[in-house]
Amino acid sequence: MLQRILAFSTAFLFVSSLSAAPLPDIKMPDNGLPFQLIDGYQDYKIVATHWRIDKHELRYVLANPIAYKALQNKQKPLPEGSKMVKIGWSVKPMTAYSDALEADKLQRIEFMVKDSNRFDQKGDHWGYARFVKKGDSYAPYANGSAECVACHASVAPNDYLFTTFQPTF
Ligand code: HEC
């Protein structure tokens, strides 16, 4: 029995690692940040969830190991190489329990990367990128990153981050 369970879970791990499709080779139009810069982001840790009332969108914010450690230690600004990723989904009522909502379609993946050599927008050392999902494929956000910089400037004292570390205990 144990052998069977082991064989099954090994096969499952093998299949699941194979099924993680590579990220598309696309870049932000203005700053050239590639989607592939966050390769492996599915393994980053979730630090917060948000609900955007006006857009009816569920959002998860994830941090790469560098950013996660700094956030945990309340270290601001975040160190070089920090990456913050945001995933947005539409929602739908659960089939089995319609008073509960669940994530429906993945609508966007966006990220911020701390890179002082490349980015210095009035003290904001983050590069911004957004990739919008339509059907099965992604497209870089055509308006570019200027609006990201402008809006995130309103939270400059928090290292340009809206997210605060969300307790899980
Ligand atoms: C009009 C304001 C506004 C604009 C424009 C904007 N953001 Fe944000 N961003 C927010 C708010 C508010 C949050 C937190 C709530 C949420 O998760 O949606 C956020 C959260 C984020 C996060 C998670 C880290 C954090 O700061 O909390 C990332 C990553 C991010 N935005 C990237 C981008 C990128 C990339 C762009 C441009 C393509 C962009 N944002 C444009 C307001 C904005």
Q: What is the pTM of this model?
A: 0.90
Query: Which of 83, 159, 162, 165 to mutate for ligand 1's pocket (most ligand atoms within 8 Å of CB)?
Result: 162
Q: Which CATH architecture describes the domain 24-158?
A: 3-Layer(bba) Sandwich (3.50)
* Mean of per-residue pLDDT scores for the chain: 91
Regarding the beta carbon of 108 and ligand 1, being less than 6 Å apart is answered no
For 82, how many CA atoms within 13 A lie in the half-sphere containing its CB? 23
Q: Where are the domains of the chain?
A: 24-158
pLDDT at position 5 is: 45
Res 13 pLDDT > 80: no
15-19, 41-45, 95-99, 165-169: least confident range: 15-19
Confirm or reject: Cβ of 147 under 6 Å from ligand 1.
Answer: yes
Q: Which of 123, 115, 106 is nearest to 31 (CA)?
A: 115
Contact 50, 21 (CB under 8 A): no
Are 132 and 141 contacting, i.e. CB atoms less than 8 angstroms apart?
yes
pLDDT in tens, 82-111: 999 999 999 999 999 999 999 999 999 999
List the one residue out of 113, 153, 155, 105 whose CA is nearest residue 130. 113
